[in-house]
Structure 1
Amino acid sequence: MDIKAAVTHGKGEDFQLEEVQLDDPKHDEVMIKVVASGVCHTDAVARDQDVPVPLPAVLGHEGSGIVEKVGSSIQTVEPGDHVVLSFSSCGHCENCLTGHPAYCLRFNDLNFGGIMNDQTKRLHQDGQEVSSFFGQSSFGTFAVANERNVVKVDKDVDLELLGPLGCGIQTGAGTILNKLQPTFGETVAVFGCGAVGLSAIMAAKIVGCSKIIAVDLHESRLEMAKELGATHTINGKDADTVEEIKRITNGGTNYSVETTSVPALAIQSLHALKPRGTSAVVGVTQETEFNVFEDIMAEGKGLVGAIEGDSVPQIFIPKLVEYYKQGQFPFDKLVKFYEMEEINKAFDESKEGKTVKPIVKMP
């Protein structure tokens, strides 16, 4: 079928709204009428080829929509269901089978390699294959995704709002709730108050962390962090961040979450910990130098990577929706909506810090 999609043709180029062809779903796949899609930093790094994705491609990996068709073996959803689209995984490797699909042994291949689970493509334009992204390509009016990507959600919540739960918001909240798992009364510092960092702050409040310290360069985002649960804020331009964190916590935090992809802040996230503390890095951070003995081993600290909040989306995303309905996870305060024709503006305003979490609505 013919659909409208935002196509990425070349490195760093603007998205072009064009007609492409989408194949019908195969036996283990679902076709979704996309209602909206969140804009994530990962889309930007793919567009700019910092993470190489075969081009041309239709990006977008925080889709939400309504099931249009299902393949013959689909058991979890049916036409008319409201769904959120999340990351792709194989379902067969050791990590998938033990409840850690975000660490699927085929994760890079399935999410950044431009292919679906069976190693073929569903998108075409002018006789040429077009790469998919995260097994969904939600920057289009329709998408085809494997059943493992698809999460059924309640119909009594605004569907246009829910797409970012598929990646960015799941990543921040899951890094706290699934990966680090702080207990009541422990402390955490969150570096970067974008959508991922603010989601981590809301999750830390749910857990009952006694001190939740937000670090950013923008006062507006620090104010939002306070509103969402931060007990303390630090503007990195105005203070020695590590010393201030140690002062607030009397020696350092139990945990830190680094969301900015800035190498210097990855080091700060380690230095701000008390002995035996753990820092989780979720950003696409490039080469960084640190002293393994002084920064990690000598104080028994841990430095871990966290992908997609170490979540099982079909379990975790409905929990976040329930927290939202109860007023404990007000992620709607992060978003700003854009029409599909404004997709390049959405990316620009996200980069400029004008919008925390853009969501593009499909026609």
Structure 2
Amino acid sequence: MQTTAVLSRDPAAPFSVETVDLDEPRDNEILVRIVAAGICHTDLVNRVLGKPDRPVLLGHEGAGVVESVGAAVTSVAPGDHVVLTFRHCGACPNCAAGRPAYCRNSTALNHFGRRPDRSARVTVAGLPVRDGFFGQSSFAGYALATADNTVVVDPAADLAVAASFGCGFQTGAGAVLNALRPESGAWLAIYGAGAVGSAALLAARTVPGVRTIVVETAAARRKLAQELGADEVLDPAEIDTGAAIGEITGGGATHALDTTGSPKVLAGAFAALGTGATVVVVGLGGGVPEIDVRDLVLSGKTVRGCLEGDAEPSTFIPHLLDLHTRGLLPVDRLVTRFPYTEIETALAEQHAGSVIKPVLIW
């Protein structure tokens, strides 16, 4: 079948809207009519893998309606409303332990994973497209997924809001609710108030008695963080945030989340922790943070990574959507919708800081 897709042929050039050919679903595949797809920084990073003769089809926060399923698929049916998320094998020790984000086969399944027989799912002008990103490549009117990364959701859910639970919102909310697990009386410092950090802030607000500090350079995002319920907002360009956090909390944050991927920010977050406190890192940056080993040992602090919010998506995504439906997790405040043909406008407004989470609508 033919559908419209947003392709990247050159990371230095604009995305292009093109007609592509999509294969019919194999026995283990699910054909989804995409309604919405969030744009994530991870999509932009992976544009570099394209070539003029083999463009990249990205998108890993898709949501839509199941059109048809292969003969071996039993967990979803045509007409189901679904959110697409990351793939996992379901059989390795980490998957068996309920940690699918750390699946030992994750790279092969998610990083433009191909069919076992190497046949093309998507072609353009007869040439194969680099697709299979997070097992979906959902920057298109239709996408092929599999049962392990397809989560059935309430048909009443707004799919434009639900889409980003597939990655960004799941990552931020899960880092708080699954990894950090703050309790009443905790002080949570969040570094970066983009989509992931803002989702983390909203998740923290669902836990009674947790107080939050948001550290963010952009004035518009600090203002939004205040509107979303942050107890304190700090501009790291204006003040010594470590000293300010120590004074606000009376000794240091009990929990912290770094969404920036910056070694310097992580080192500052670590230094601003109180005794026995933990900082969770979700940003995929590079470099080595300067962490005082004596402080690490004598203060009993912890630094740990967290991928996809330590989530089990089949249960966590419906849980988050339920919180949203009940008005406890207003992530719709973070979403701005754009027709898929306006992806360049969406990216420009996100880069300018006027948009937190751009979502493409088909």
Give the TM-score range, shorter chain.
over 0.9
Partner of 2:195: 195
- Tell whether the 8 Å contact from 1:278 to 1:302 is kept in structure 2 after alignment: yes
8 A Cα contact 1:270 1:295, kept in partner: no
Counterpart in 2 of 1:37? 37
Q: What are the ranges of 5 or more consecutive residues in structure 1 without an aligned counterpart?
A: none
Aligned counterpart, 2:254: 254
Q: Give the letter for the 2:320 counterpart.
A: L
Aligned partners of 2:308 and 2:59: how far apart in 1?
A: 15
Question: What's the TM-score once normalised by structure 2's chain length?
Answer: 0.95
Indicate whether 1:79 and 2:78 are aligned: yes
1:56 aligns with 2:55: yes
In the alignment, is the contact (CA less than 8 A) between 1:110 and 1:116 conserved in 2? Answer: no
Q: Which residue of 2 aligns with 1:211?
A: 211
**SS of equivalent to 2:332:** helix
Answer with 270-279 or 135-144: which moved more.
270-279
Match of 2:106 in 1: 107
Aligned counterpart, 1:229: 229
Q: Percent identity at matched positions?
A: 39
Post-superposition CA distance 1:249-283 (Å, at most 9, x none): 11111111011122211111111111211111111
Aligned to 1:293: 293
Residue 34 of structure 1: CA displacement? 0.3
> Which consecutive unaligned segments of at least 5 residues does structure 2 have?
none
Question: In 2, Cα distance between the equivalents of 1:120 and 1:186?
Answer: 52
Check 1:34–1:104 CA distance in 2 against 1; reply closer, same or farther (3 A cut): same
Over 3 Å counting, the alpha-carbon distance change for 1:276 and 1:131 in structure 2 is same
- 2:274 maps to 274
Instruction: Say which is worse superposed, 14-23 or 294-303, in terms of deviation.
Output: 294-303
Could you say which residue in structure 2 is the equivalent of 1:92?
A: 91
SS of 1:316's partner is helix
Q: State the 1:248 CA deviation.
A: 0.6
- With over 3 angstroms needed to count, the CA separation of the structure-2 counterparts of 1:295 and 1:31, relative to structure 1, is farther
SS at structure 1 position matched to 2:75: coil
Q: Secondary structure at 2:135's aligned position in 1?
A: coil
CA drift of 1:349 comes to 1.5
Shift of 1:231: 1.0
In the TM superposition, residue 55 of structure 1 has moved relative to its aligned partner by 5.3
Q: Indicate if the aligned counterparts of 2:61 and 2:84 stay in contact, CA closer than 8 A.
A: yes
User: What do the CA deviations read for 1:93-132 (whole angstroms, capped 9, x no partner)?
Assistant: 1111111111111212222244257765411223322122
Decide whether the 8 Å contact of 1:187 with 1:209 is kept in 2.
Answer: no
Q: Is the 8 A contact 2:220 2:354 kept in 1?
A: no
Name the aligned partner's letter for residue 146 of structure 1.
T
Deviations 1:126-175 (A, max 9, x none): 33221221110010000000111111111112222211110000000000
Aligned positions of 1:230-245 closer than 5 A: 230-245=230-245
CA distance in 1 between counterparts of 2:289 and 2:207 reads: 33
Spell out the pairing of 1:113-128 with structure 2 (5 A cutoff). Answer: 113-116=112-115, 121-128=120-127
1:181 alignment partner in structure 2? 181
**What one-letter code is carried by the residue in structure 2 that aligns with 1:280?**
V
CA contact (8 A) 1:87 1:166 kept: yes
- Residue 116 to residue 324, structure 1, CA distance change in 2 (3 Å): farther
RMSD of equivalent CA atoms: 1.9
Aligned to 2:157: 157
How many angstroms apart in 2 are the aligned matches of 1:12 and 1:213?
36
**Displacement of 1:353:** 1.1
Preserved contact between residue 176 and residue 182 of structure 1 (Cα < 8 Å):
yes
Alpha-carbon spacing, 1:208–1:11, altered in 2? closer, same or farther (3 Å): same
Which whole-Å CA distance do the structure 1 matches of 2:291 and 2:165 have between them?
Answer: 36
Q: Is 1:12 paired with 2:37?
A: no
Contact 1:56–1:130 under 8 Å retained in 2? yes
Equivalents in 2 of 1:336, 1:214: separation in Å?
22
Q: Distance in 2 between matches of 1:136 and 1:295?
A: 44
When normalised by structure 1's length, the TM-score is 0.94
**Contact (CA 8 Å) 2:267, 2:291: kept in 1 or not?**
no
Q: 1:121/1:207 Cα in 2 relative to 1: closer, same or farther (>3 Å)?
A: farther
Question: Which shifted more, 115-124 or 204-213?
Answer: 115-124
Amino acid at match of 1:208: P
In 1, are the aligned partners of 2:263 and 2:290 still within 8 Å (CA)? Answer: no
CA contact (8 A) 2:35 2:159 kept: yes
Counterpart secondary structure, 1:184: coil
Partner of 1:14, secondary structure, is: coil
AA aligned opposite 2:168: G
- Which whole-Å CA distance do the structure 1 matches of 2:55 and 2:129 have between them? 5
- Indicate whether 1:350 and 2:350 are aligned: yes
CA pair 285-295 structure 1, distance change in 2 beyond 3 A: farther
| 1:47 aligned residue | 47
Distance 1:98 1:250 in 2: 38
1:219: how far off? 2.2
Cα distance between partner residues in 1 of 2:119 and 2:254: 45
Greater mean deviation of Cα atoms: 72-81 or 137-146 = 72-81
Q: Provide the C-alpha distance between the structure 2 equivalents of 1:265 and 1:36, rounded to a whole number of angstroms.
A: 33
- Against the structure 1 CA distance between its residues 127 and 283, is the aligned structure 2 distance closer, same or farther, given a 3 Å change threshold? same
The Cα offsets for residues 17-58 of structure 1, whole Å up to 9 and x where unpaired, read as: 111111111222210000110011111111246x99x95220
Deviation by residue 1:55-80 (Cα, 9 ceiling, x = unmatched): 52200011110000011122221111
Q: Map 1:313-328 onto structure 2 (within 5 A).
A: 313-328=313-328
